[in-house]
Amino acid sequence: MLISLPKVRGIYRYNVPMSKMTWLNVGGQADVLFKPRDIEDLVCFIKNTELPINVIGATSNIIVRDSGIRGITVKLGKEFAYIKCKGNNSIIAGGAALLSNLAYFAEKQQISGLEFLVGIPGTVGGGIEMNAGAYGSDIASVVQSIKAVNLEDGNLYEFSSKEMGYVYRGHNLKGQWIFVEAEFKGVSSEHEIILSRLKEVIDKKNKSQPVKGKTAGCMFKNPKDYQAWKLIDESGCRGLNNGGAKISKKHCNFLLNYNNATASDLENLGNKVRDAVKDKFNVELEWEIRVLGGGFYSRIS
Ligand SMILES: Cc1cc2nc3c(=O)[nH]c(=O)nc-3n(C[C@H](O)[C@H](O)[C@H](O)COP(=O)(O)OP(=O)(O)OC[C@H]3O[C@@H](n4cnc5c(N)ncnc54)[C@H](O)[C@@H]3O)c2cc1C
């Protein structure tokens, strides 16, 4: 297929195998991967294309389907990975900055409150989209404002945390967005205290989750009044396989590519688990992992 693309200052790559890029190591090709040089380049690109656009971050919460991703896949690169101090316990970070780097940067500035981010292997942009969280904190509790480019009109907007309408693992902003920058705020503290919290988070994670596996974090959101892992466990799904996909024995809300799984092995196994929980408890589990591909604008949210 011949695609006509606008002239940009960033980089286009064609037929990019997503299996080499995603945490789960699965997924067909992205037709075009676009890494914009800066916000203006991204704005100009969106204003000059009619092609469907998806966005990926560190891909730690995504299954890309075996059929790949049609149209354009935007990935913010190193130009968006900056983290800087704003003063008054505030930090500005680009959409591609890693959440773990943000946590370590905050420690250096003696700013506390962002320690929970150290165990989440995503980017600022992905974290904002997912309202990523752990151990009682989430992005909503530390983010002040967000700069975002709208995928329909290509304009740059700024939102307060309140305007985002944050909910558990999501938000209520209408439309399709690329989050390009955010301001975070913590409270003043001391190195020793923050370092010991960082260590506590890392230790807890290592003990309870298969953090070294090919995974995408929690498969399903916790339904109201339930813990997803308990429902999955009590439905007999701990350690269940499908092709090369497996439910982790260590944390049964984690899906693993343990033996050359395909994306459909993983997605089908997740659906089997969801059906088993529905049969046993009459509770509908909702995917936390996002599925990309298999058509235009196929985001599951
Ligand atoms: C080992 C492991 C542990 C994890 N632990 C946790 C945890 O404790 N808590 C938790 O909440 N999550 C956890 N996760 C899941 C994941 O790390 C988070 O959801 C993270 O926020 C995803 O960020 P990402 O950059 O990888 O986004 P991706 O996985 O690339 O994308 C996720 C979603 O965000 C969208 N997106 C990505 N970047 C942008 C952007 N710039 N603008 C707009 N939308 C964007 C994508 O379109 C997609 O819908 C874990 C994952 C793994 C592999």
Instruction: Read off the pLDDT of residues 138-150 as tens digits, 9 standing for 90 and up.
Output: 999 999 999 999 9
| 290 labelled catalytic | no
Residue nearest to atom 53 of ligand 1 (CA): 216
Q: What are the residue ranges spanned by the domains of the chain? A: 11-78, 80-206, 222-285
| 218 labelled catalytic | yes
Res 4 pLDDT > 90: no
CATH topology of domain 11-78: 3.30.43
Residue 300 confidence class, pLDDT cut points 50, 70, 90: very low
* Measured torsion, CA atoms of residues 23, 146, 79, 92, in degrees rounded to the nearest 10: -110
b/e map 20-30, b = 16+ CB within 10 Å: ebbbbbbbbbb
Res 299 pLDDT > 70: no
Tokens of 147: 């700069």
Which residue is catalytic, options 44, 218, 237, 252? 218
Pairing of β 133-134 and β 53-56: unpaired
DSSP symbol at 209: S
Could you tell me which CATH number the domain at 222-285 has? 3.90.78.10
Please name which of 295, 84, 56, 81 lies closest in space to residue 178, comparing C-alpha atoms: 56
**Can you give the pLDDT at residue 294?**
75
| 107 labelled catalytic | no
Report, in angstroms and rounded to the nearest whole number, the Rg of the chain calculated over CA atoms.
19
Q: Chain-wide mean pLDDT for the chain?
A: 95
Report which ligand 1 atom has the smallest distance to the Cα of 127: 21
Res 301 pLDDT > 50: no
**Exposed, middle or buried, 266 (CB in 10 Å: 0-12/13-18/19+)?**
buried
**Can you give the pLDDT at residue 1?**
55
Residue nearest to atom 51 of ligand 1 (CA): 217
Beta strands in 4-47 (DSSP E): 11-17, 29-35
Which of 93-97, 100-104, 152-156, 297-301 is the least confident region?
297-301
222-285: same fold as 11-78? no
Which residue is catalytic, options 169, 197, 274, 290? 169
Res 219 pLDDT > 70: yes
Q: 183, 90 in Cβ contact below 8 A?
A: yes
Domain 80-206 has CATH 3.20.20.70: no
Tokens of 43: 């704005």
Res 296 pLDDT > 60: no
Please give the distance, rounded to the nearest whole angstrom, from the Cα atom of residue 63 to the centre of ligand 1.
11
pLDDT per residue as tens digits for the range 21-69: 999 999 999 999 999 999 999 999 999 999 999 999 999 999 999 999 9
Q: Is residue 36 lining ligand 1, measured as CB closer than 6 Å?
A: no
Residues contacting residue 227 through CB under 8 Å, at least 6 positions apart: none
CA distances from residue 263 to 86, 169, 269 in whole angstroms, order as listed: 42, 23, 10
3-state SS, 53-105, equals EEEECCCCCEEECCCCEEEEEEECCHHHCCEEEEECCEEEEECCCEHHHHHHH
Tell me the mean pLDDT in the region 119-130. 98
Please name which of 102, 77, 87, 98 lies closest in space to residue 194, comparing C-alpha atoms: 102
